[in-house]
Chain A
């Protein structure tokens, strides 16, 4: 164990955390702001991943061009589903929401299986992504640096959007007092559709970025559900910056403890989850109900 090794692991943990953050944004919006328990959230991430596979792996488009397409496509998919089925579930009980959305996740996996088969999807990464960069003895791949950049940009954009625009103010108003918001002429239905679609879009971006990192197959929607729920729970549902802090914290804690204590390292993040839930049941950024 040495200082540069420690820093390398730390930086890797941050990159992994950024990916978790991108995954979890949408769930944080739907769960925290819209109070809809969407366990099918990972399906949008998977959708973004498959868009990237089709564009880069099959059609040969440049990686950087395919990323925004994956973002938009997942957003459109989210909007389409919101308008057709999901909006009918908002007022159902929590159990019904859970059952409905987990069913949706299974269905998404089955559709992906039919369309693309059960195998892992390959994508060729551009040269800059596989190149290792060494700064002060810390080795990191171009891809991980890029993921970190994407996470930071997403954080900035979302905070600006929710805290400093009319759209953000309307969403917050609609969440807190729906009837009043409708009374002053806010179209809450359309607003929620937009917010849901935005969450799906960011999940799609995260999923697209994850292909080069973690791989992609039809079990994707369920495989990362637990860790994404942990991010949202620890961060506090509805808080973008809370999710950000929680994702980084989990990514770094996971990496560091695996490095220091490989015998138990993989378990530590679950212990952290339990501890946070006991001390701060509403998460790091939780507001009183």
Chain B
């Protein structure tokens, strides 16, 4: 196998391109030698671990580590080792690409698990294809990602899956008219498009669709317009964090007593944002793919392990589950390939994989490599200073409607 001693910074794209086939061929030629030496499987992990999004990055890592603590660090007889890199959040596509390259070339990563943000995953897609290294997207939710590389799969959810499910559910549950308010950027437009499609296909009517500036903190003017249009419900999407807190606080206040329901995607009322939103979350309806109250054996086991580690009242976010399931998918696929990690072998085994996940049954669609999973419809409630989301309807085995 070609030995690479160059520092990663010196490896230019062209050099990399010429080396990639050699690395791939080398790996394919010596699988037996690797087993004999008991070589570890290296999982390159790329997460936002510093800056404003360090919090969410740490959640995926917690999930990955938790899985290994529960299931050991060996799969198919090989040690599975994590090599973690920090891509510093969105807007660092170039860095994510460079880190992917470094992990593949210098750390000899067999599999990449990571990417919280779409642009970062997007920038690495070409590299994964060239190097034939499987990439498991731990979060980024733009539908098109899995079409950018044949080596991509996803262990999170797509925005279209969630928004379309919520639209369909709303149309089927007595909501006739909706006013939509989404943040004016790609995921917002995605959410709007697929909610509207699900809702109008189900017979609903959209009164109007407003788009708000991405970082806007004042939503009252938009809400006032919506209230005057007298819809049955407002559908909203915004990018989480402080923006969503401001939105929900104002929307909760304004819509109270008007009889207008508030529908959002689950990330807007993420469990760890609820305390800051306070009682404004009362009766907000949301759709999401994981919820702490999912009732199955896998979730009970997961929650017990999580709480044994972080305290009896600790609430794992959906991001922890995504990190956890990412590792589960890797272990299961290694079992299937007998420890082989060559890109094409691994991807072939991964297609059609079924996971018994804390979020319910998960299938990797063999045709699209896209995740198929349950979407839960939840209602938020606030009592005695504590906010919770409670599932009251389940839409089973949802495929990405965009594919």
Chain A residues with a Cβ under 8 A of chain B: 1-2, 5, 8-9, 12, 16, 113, 117-125, 130, 132, 139, 141, 213-219, 223, 254-256, 258-259, 262-263, 265-267
Partner of B55, one of A118, A130, A215, A223: A118
Residue of A nearest to B256 (CB): A132
A256→B221 CA distance, assembly (Å): 7
Question: When chains A and B are docked, how far (Å) is the Cα of A255 from the Cα of B221?
Answer: 6
Confirm or deny: B381 has a beta carbon within 8 angstroms of a beta carbon on chain A: no
Query: Residue of A at shortest CB range from B279?
Result: A130
How many Å from the CB of B55 to the closest CB on chain A?
4
Name the distance in Å between A270's Cβ and chain B's nearest Cβ: 11
Task: Classify chain B's interface size.
Answer: 35 or more
Contacts of A255 in B (CB 8 A): 218, 220-221
| Alpha-carbon gap, A5 to B246, bound state (A) | 20
Decide: A214 and B224 in contact? CB cutoff 8 A: no
B213 touches A120 (CB 8 A): no
Q: What is the chain A residue whose CB lies nearest that of B54?
A: A118
Contacts A120-B273, A262-B210 known; A12 to B55 CB distance under 8 Å? no
Q: CA of A89 to CA of B135 in the docked complex: distance in angstroms? A: 50
Chain A residues, Cβ within 8 Å of B210 = 262
Q: Check A118–B52 contact: CB distance below 8 A.
A: yes
Closest A residue by C-beta to B229:
A1
Residue of B nearest to A259 (CB): B221
* Chain A residue at minimal CB-CB distance from B216: A266
What are 29 A-B contacts defined by CB distance under 8 Å? Answer: A5-B227, A8-B224, A9-B220, A9-B221, A9-B224, A118-B54, A118-B55, A120-B241, A120-B276, A121-B276, A122-B275, A124-B278, A130-B253, A132-B253, A139-B254, A214-B242, A215-B242, A215-B245, A217-B52, A217-B241, A223-B242, A254-B218, A255-B218, A258-B218, A259-B222, A262-B225, A263-B211, A265-B221, A267-B213
Number of A-B residue pairs, CB cutoff 8 Å, is 90
Residue of A nearest to B257 (CB): A132
Q: Whole-angstrom distance between the alpha carbons of A255 and B219 in the complex? A: 8
- Bound CA span A16–B220, Å: 10
Chain A residues whose CB sits within 8 angstroms of the CB of B257 once the complex forms: 132
Judge if B337 is at the interface, Cβ distance under 8 Å.
no
CA distance A265 to B219 in the complex (A): 12
- Please give the distance in Å from B87's CB to the nearest CB on chain A: 16
- Does B368 have its Cβ within 8 Å of any Cβ on chain A? no
Residues of chain A within 8 A of B54, CB atoms compared: 113, 118
Question: B227 to chain A: which residues have CB within 8 Å?
Answer: 5
B278 & A130 in contact (Cβ 8 Å cutoff): yes
Q: Which residue of chain B has its CB nearest to the CB of A219?
A: B52
A142 to chain B: closest CB distance in Å?
A: 10
**Bound-state Cα–Cα, A256 to B211, Å:** 16
A6 CB, min distance to chain B CBs, angstroms: 8
CA of A117 to CA of B228 in the docked complex: distance in angstroms? 40
List, in ascending order, chain B residues with CB within 8 A of A219's CB. Answer: 52, 242
* Cα separation A2 to B228 with both chains bound (whole Å): 8
Q: Report chain B residues within 8 Å CB of A216.
A: 242
Name B220's contact: one of A1, A12, A124, A125 (CB within 8 Å).
A12
Shortest Cβ distance from residue A20 to the other chain B in the assembled complex, whole angstroms: 11
- A118-B54, A217-B242, A258-B218 as given contacts; A5 in contact with B224, CB under 8 Å: yes
In the bound assembly, the distance between CA atoms of A9 and B257 in angstroms comes to 18
Inter-chain CA distance A120–B272, complex, in Å, is 9
* B221 & A258 in contact (Cβ 8 Å cutoff): yes
Whole-angstrom distance between the Cβ of B57 and the nearest chain A Cβ? 10
* Distance in angstroms between the alpha carbons of A125 and B275 in the assembled complex: 11
Contacts of A265 in B (CB 8 A): 221
B212 within 8 A of A: yes
* Contact assessment for A141 and B218 in the assembled complex, using a CB-CB cutoff below 8 Å: no
Option from B55, B224, B254 in Cβ contact (under 8 Å) with A259: B224
Closest 5 CB pairs of A and B: A266-B213, A258-B221, A259-B221, A122-B275, A122-B276
Kindly list chain B residues whose C-beta atoms are within 8 Å of the C-beta of A139. 254
Given A118-B52, A124-B385, A130-B279, are A258 and B222 neighbors across the interface (CB < 8 Å)?
Answer: yes
